[in-house]
Structure 1
Amino acid sequence: MVQPTQSVVRRFLPRRAAALCLALSVLTGCSVLPNEEEPLDPPKLTSKTEEHETSPVTRGNMELYLTSTASAVSDVNNSVSFPESGGILKKFYVAEGDTIKAGAPIAELETGDLPIRVKLQKLTVEQSKLRYQDAIQQNAGEDGVRLAKIDLEAQQLQLDSLQEAYNKALLFAPSSGLVTYLNDLKPGEPVEANQAIAIVSDPSKVNFVYDATDATKIKTVKDGTEVAITLDDDKSYEGSVIQTPSTAPKSDKDEVNRRNAKALIIALNPPSPAVPIGTYADIKLFIDKRDNVILIPRGALKTMFGRNYVEVMENDRVKEVDVVTGLKTSDKVEIVKGLEEGQKVVID
């Protein structure tokens, strides 16, 4: 038998030693890896009852109203203009805010030398009158008197023609009242026929006008709707709507129709105080009123895909209930169907 050489034995000794060490490690549990940590206990879950803020379903009265500001305007407003022809503005005889009498001059157009011609013709007519009277007194005969009369009539016709032309250049007040509007034209500027020059209003017939920024807010308002009106004296007066967009008369002026489409006219109920034109007042317009109805807070109503519902607490459980709503305000909702007084609804 061939014996292993010493060099071969030295080559295999390290391998055997490593194998022996590995075997001993497995048997004794020794290892170069760190020891495993002991497993932790699972977390404990505690049950907690969910709390909800609730409010009772109540029964009461409900008002839907609009608060804003309205201005006092006359119910009788006469717009004046030069109806037949325009011209060049000469001057105004009044200012905005003036109180004037019927027939008082308001404005005048340029007429050149027409005023002087009118004055001269008045003198000519006066002369013709004197000659006619003298012919009668002097027994000038039938022909002489007749000629004097014809001359007087001719001169009077000419004066009437000149005066009519001059009157067309003058604008007179159609009625007594307050000048609530005056055109801002300056002397020397052109004036068109039928251009509004001034508005004369009757201060004894005053109503309030509310101009809505959004016409949909007053869409349901009807004639006769109650209005509370508070004036500068902090006193509240009763009033009512006398004209709405749906009852306003149609006008041939688009501007008037556009204004009426978003305006309410409100009258003070008698007895009423004297209110100057231009006065501002706080108004409370009662759009709708409901008495003895089922009510819930606005925050309790939920809406999803057109469905209205609330969450009701029953036996410590939350239950969804479909409801039919009625009148709505900023903080309350009328429930027409679905709830009863005394139930508790969840509030978000």
Structure 2
Amino acid sequence: MNWNASTGAKLRPAALAGLLAAGAALGGCSLLPKDPEPLKPPLVKPAQAEIRTVEASLGTIVRQVTGSGTFVPTEVQYYQFKEGGVLETVHVRAGQEVKRGDLLVTLENKGIDIELLQRELEYEKKKLAFEEALKSGNEREANIARIEFEIARRQFDQTKEKAENAVLKAEREGIVSYATDLQPGDYVDGGRVLAAVASPAGMRLALQTAANPVLADIRIGMEAEVTYKGRIYTGTVTQTPSTAPPTDDDRLREEYARTLYIELDELPEDASFGSIADVKIVAARRDNVVVVPKGAVRTYFGRTFVQVLDGERRREVDVETGIENATEYEIVQGVEPGMLLILQ
């Protein structure tokens, strides 16, 4: 048994062991290093959204149509059958020169040539009989011969017209600017253009401007600036989609719906059908007006406005716009030069 010096009491071995164990545990806690506390995340200010602005200023805005035009014939004659039929032969191709009377297109009309000869023979026989009856002096026989001759003449004319209606011939000298791509055996609707012959005497520019919103502003008589091989020429708008002549041909109607035609005051000497020139037609122009990018103008439920940056404050201002082009607006009212406008 061990002796306790502080109390003078004797300690049992079991109690002594317990005290030693507790002391060791307490001593171990004080000697081992403590786990570090987790660091707090640093405070980060939220990123400020970048504000893009533009200063309103005076300038010039132009609303115009530009593009590449192609020199085409001024005078073009289109050929189509009055009534439908089955296509037999297309005798020409685009770019081919033709003379007056040359065959362009024929329809199937089997046996018409023999029938035409028979009608012509009958016509000549009845004509001769009528002439002889007149010489005989018999009025009754002469009257009968006259009626028979008239019947034969009308039948011959009808057959001749039928034969002519199955053939398209060039009515003048020129260059074939279009020939149908239909094949023999295809059915042809009456009124469909199958060939076009252009007069080589004159040319004009055709400018295709599909899906251009400015197209609606172009009027006949407007001036056009044409650049060909570095030289500038002037011209005049002579046909727009809204003033195109009516036609039953779908191809022509589609072409007219997206094409402006311009006649030049002076044709380039070396220009030919198919040559390309740059074209510019100004529909509207405003000088010394407030012009802003389209990104500065906002619309909402019929309201048109801009956001103005005034110091650090934003304010909305209603505006009235004038002409516009692909990238800019003219501001008629609501914005003064020098204002900072917030872009969308």
Global fold match (TM > 0.5): yes
**Partner Cα distance (2:183, 2:322) in 1:** 57
Q: 2:15: which partner in 1?
A: 12
State the AA in 2 paired with 1:335: I
Deviates more, 1:121-130 or 1:270-279: 121-130
Kept in 2, the 8 Å contact 1:209–1:263? The answer is no
Kept in 2, the 8 Å contact 1:179–1:198? The answer is yes
Q: CA deviation at 1:45?
A: 10
The one of 274, 281, 299 aligned to 2:277: 281
The one of 211, 219, 234 aligned to 1:214: 211
Q: 2:170: which partner in 1?
A: 173
Tell me the secondary structure at the aligned position of residue 31 of structure 1.
helix
Q: CA deviation at 1:292?
A: 0.4
**Partner Cα distance (2:277, 2:75) in 1:** 20
Counterparts of 1:21-60 in structure 2 under 5 Å? 31-34=30-33, 56-60=55-59
Q: CA deviation at 1:238?
A: 2.6
**Partner Cα distance (1:201, 1:117) in 2:** 35
1:168 to 1:200, Cα distance in 2 relative to 1, 3 A: same
Q: 1:263: which partner in 2?
A: 258
Q: 2:316: which partner in 1?
A: 322
Q: CA deviation at 1:75?
A: 5.0
State the AA in 1 paired with 2:81: F
Q: Which runs of 5+ in 2 are unaligned?
A: 1-8
2:70 maps to 1:71: yes
Kept in 2, the 8 Å contact 1:239–1:266? The answer is no
**Partner Cα distance (1:211, 1:246) in 2:** 14
**Partner Cα distance (1:160, 1:110) in 2:** 19
Q: 1:230: which partner in 2?
A: 227
Kept in 1, the 8 Å contact 2:191–2:248? The answer is no
**Partner Cα distance (2:192, 2:342) in 1:** 64
1:59 to 1:172, Cα distance in 2 relative to 1, 3 A: same
Q: 1:292: which partner in 2?
A: 288
State the AA in 1 paired with 2:136: D
**Partner Cα distance (1:31, 1:176) in 2:** 119
Kept in 2, the 8 Å contact 1:69–1:281? The answer is yes
**Partner Cα distance (1:303, 1:282) in 2:** 34
Deviates more, 1:287-296 or 1:180-189: 180-189
Q: How many residues align?
A: 320
**Partner Cα distance (1:36, 1:167) in 2:** 111
Kept in 2, the 8 Å contact 1:92–1:108? The answer is yes
State the AA in 2 paired with 1:196: V
Tell me the secondary structure at the aligned position of residue 193 of structure 2.
coil
1:223 to 1:56, Cα distance in 2 relative to 1, 3 A: same
Q: CA deviation at 1:267?
A: 1.9
Percent identical among aligned pairs is 27
State the AA in 2 paired with 1:12: A
1:272 to 1:17, Cα distance in 2 relative to 1, 3 A: same
State the AA in 2 paired with 1:11: A
Tell me the secondary structure at the aligned position of residue 197 of structure 1.
strand
**Partner Cα distance (2:68, 2:10) in 1:** 117
State the AA in 1 paired with 2:336: E
2:136 maps to 1:143: yes
State the AA in 1 paired with 2:291: L
**Partner Cα distance (1:21, 1:113) in 2:** 131
1:236 to 1:298, Cα distance in 2 relative to 1, 3 A: same
Q: 2:336: which partner in 1?
A: 340
